[in-house]
Amino acid sequence: MELNWLDYVTFAIFLLAVIIVSIYASKKEETTEEYFLAGRTLTWWMVGLSLIASNISTEHFVGMAGQGFLSNVGLAIASYEWIAALALIIVAVYLLPKFLRAGIYTIPEFLEYRYNRWPRTIMSAGLLVMYATVTMATVLYAGGLAMESIFGVNLYVGIWALGIFTGAYTMFGGLKAVVWTDVVQGLTLLIGAIVVTVLALNEVGGYEKFVELSEGRLHTVLPADHPELPWTAIFIGGMWLPNLFYWGLNQFIMQRTLGAKSLHEGQKGILLAASIKLIIPLIIVFPGIIAFELYGDQIGKADAAYPYLVKQLLPAGLVGIVLAAILGATMSTLDSLLNSAATIFTIDFYKQFFNKEATQKHFVTVGRICTVVLVIIACLCTVFVERYTEGLYKFIQIWWGCIQPGIVAAFFMGLIWKKVPPVAAVVGMLLNVPLYIFLLNTWKIAFLHHMAICFVVICIVMAIITLISPNQRKIVYPVKQEFATTALSPALKVWAALIVIATAGLYYYFR
């Protein structure tokens, strides 16, 4: 694909916008609350767009579209997005009020108030390892792969260039810079995805022709014995665990809601993100299915479907926009991961174990140094992602199962049963890793079932420990007075109900 002068101009304007916004937003970021939580000043539309931009990355354009390309998955992969919309409602109604009221900086911090330091430390360590070696590495690899496939850039040159550029503005700007650049990048990726979808539908002959040629790829409810996405796992099983964890207990997602200026603004932002999640499969998975319909015999690997489609369909002059969208998707997720991982290291490890009395400015400096180290680790770990042959999206989902059921169980049991002792949470989270890996290697069923089994077993173990040695200490959560109210307004209740109805309607239409 040849780039013309208009492509270069479009791409340059995008990069310049990111730099200007980052510099502007990073002014006076000197305290930990300003650097890590944007001074708790984020409005609802900033929270919502940042949630989407942080979530949607190149592994969606590459990996999710690739799953759409595959005949045994197709549009069923949309369940990750549509169940996410429902999980976000639970977060807005139940979890966010508790977290904002406690005034926490990190999600693991809440575990210390409920239990003690050790569950917090275990969760923080697990998040740091997964962020650097799995999610960041996958995001960077997907970005480099897209740049190589479409624009001929060397894979590892693209990976390191993306890592260095994103790490630089994240390091200097903090969460406020991350959120503001997410707004720019989020709008760009949504526009770019819509443009590609419209062009692809036009090329295939319109929506009716697209449905006719889909060969069963437009079904979202798959048989109970399906090896990857059985309906049992989606509606009543393991699909809920990664979604509740990701949207409610995942630092890199929740950090922008923790920075909301009020509970009402945070809840509105979450519902905005839930609304956008409903259309994501239509602008990402549809192109993957269309790629099969148009070029199925020319595409050797599913993850190459979206880049190949773009390369074939995009008219001259729009290449720069799509390149900007792809890079924006990568950078918006990577900057959020970097800022959140730096927050966890600084607040949950460095401050707790090494230097409690340091100045605010010193902690900000530590966070910046940590950002640099994380970029280097993530870039180096992309070699492991490259060796995985079953798709980038599945790579992330499978490996996060090593810690997700245990963390969800620790929060779930701790919130509903005051007698659960700290040792039960510690045992539950540590048991997750060997149990999940054992199930993966011995029981050939959908990995979502493995996660559900882990969750149930861990909850049973935690219950047994609780009955033997119940918690004796009084549980006291701090109260940040400006977030003391927990009510969901009537307007937001209506909004949430409409999201539920729309989700049910989509499942019915594409059943």
Distance, in Å, from the CA atom of 424 to the CA atom of 464, rounded to the nearest integer, reads 9
- Find out whether 111 and 410 touch, Cβ atoms under 8 Å: yes
479, part of any domain? no
pLDDT for residue 249 = 94
Matching residue, tokens 């489609």: 309
Question: 51 in helix, strand or coil?
Answer: helix
CB contact set of 121 (below 8 Å; sequence gap of 6+): 108, 348, 349, 352
Give CA separation, 450 vs 245, 356, 440, in Å: 16, 40, 7
Count CB-CB contacts under 10 A for residue 443. Answer: 11
Average of per-residue pLDDT across 384-408: 84
167, part of any domain? yes
421, part of any domain? no
- Find out whether 200 and 313 touch, Cβ atoms under 8 Å: yes
Distance, in Å, from the CA atom of 436 to the CA atom of 399, rounded to the nearest integer, reads 10
- Find out whether 330 and 61 touch, Cβ atoms under 8 Å: no
81, part of any domain? yes
Distance, in Å, from the CA atom of 343 to the CA atom of 305, rounded to the nearest integer, reads 36
Whether the predicted model's global pTM rises above the 0.85 cut: yes
508, part of any domain? no
User: What's the number of domains the chain is made of?
Assistant: 1
Average of per-residue pLDDT across 156-171: 86
Helix ranges, 279-391 (H) = 280-295, 305-313, 319-343, 360-386
Return the higher-pLDDT residue of 181 and 371: 371
389, part of any domain? yes
Q: Per residue in 446-485, pLDDT tens?
A: 889 999 999 999 999 999 999 999 998 889 888 886 776 6
State what percent of residues in the chain have pLDDT above 70: 92
Question: Angle, to 10 degrees, between the axis of helix 251-258 and the axis of helix 44-55?
Answer: 170
- Find out whether 245 and 407 touch, Cβ atoms under 8 Å: yes
Average of per-residue pLDDT across 256-282: 92
pLDDT for residue 23 = 67
Q: Tell me which residue range forms the domain holding 255.
A: 5-17+34-393
Q: What's the CATH code of the domain at 114?
A: 1.20.1730.10
As beta bridge partners, residue 260 has 42
352, part of any domain? yes
The mean pLDDT value of the chain amounts to 86
